[in-house]
Chains A and B, each alone.
Chain A
Amino acid sequence: MAHIHLEDGAFTLQWISIWWVLSIVLIGLCLYWMKKGKGIDNKTITIAAMLTAASFAIFQVNMPLFGGVHMNLTPLIGILGGPAVGGVIVLIVNVLSAAIGHGGWGMIGANVLVNMTEVSAAYGTYKWLGKTKVSTFARAGTAVLIGLFLGNIAMIAIILISAVQGVTQSRVDMLYGLSLLAGVNMGVAVIEAVVTGYVVSYIERVRPDMLRG
């Protein structure tokens, strides 16, 4: 849900390269983890494909709320796929999104890092709450809120560190503006939390094998 909506040229080439390299290193670790861990079976590939399709389809839909917002289901990706598979999914979704003109190509690296924060934080929170016997709906919903909140913080940090070319605004003003933007984003996170909570609860009833625990 947090997504850097800036066009190519907003960041300097140096920062675009740094975020790209970092995201490639992380994706490499995800692939290594997938291979080293349980391996990649057909079920995992099918779930990953479904999550990719769902995330891509919903990510491009601009909803008429707070003037225009969108969801991207990254916490659901984390809960169902885990951080390793999730990392690969968010890379694919970001590349496909850039291909249709939603987000710049140069921003893919930075956006992958933002989305991976959401995926990992949601996965970690969901797993951690599993030890407390909280209901699946509340577990998944809370994981979404925490994941998207941390994703917004990652987005703000990346923009403040990179700085935007051609603007006269100070970093403090930028932090204020981006905090308001993140605040609005969290309104959509509430909707995403309720939707994901119901989806995960439903999956637990009909296909509990799809949930990792």
Chain B
Amino acid sequence: MKSTKLSRQKTEPGAENAKKTSSRRSFLRRLGLGALITGLAGQLFAFVRALVPNVLYEAPRSFKIGVPETFAQGMTYLQDHRLFIGRDQRGLYAISAVCTHLGCTVKMMNLNQSRKVQVAGKTVEITQEFHCPCHGSKYYGDGTNYAGPAPRPLDWYRLEVSPNDGQLLVNTSEVVHHDFRLNA
């Protein structure tokens, strides 16, 4: 009954009026729905954004590790920084002890006798290796990965001498090439 009444209304002179009402109604409906969705999306964004920290209370990415003279020939491990400091004829360098596979700390293995290996076409003499305890990745003493799941060599970090007090400054946010040496 009701539906026939409604349909008849549309054909009557007031039909245009009824059309107007329905378009206003649908506009308001869309407006309401749009406001709800926009409001919810905005709130959701705010909530999620609040979970991304703006300030970190973490250890600084660059730090001092003492005067260069403290580091003798060979490799020194700084446990507190998960860092190896090496010294050879050409100078000082810093290698990260963080495995490039999944972030475990690699262990240094001193070889009984040095051996020559091919790294990127060049022959390098190594006296130690790094082994990862988690998944068995292996690196030569210069950080080049040669076995296990590690996808790339260990990071080398920039070393500087601080102009203020002459201490060595490690910058772990700057990765450098394997040829890097600091003459100090």
Chains A and B belong together in one complex: no
Using CB atoms and an 8 Å cutoff, list the residues of chain B in contact with chain A. none
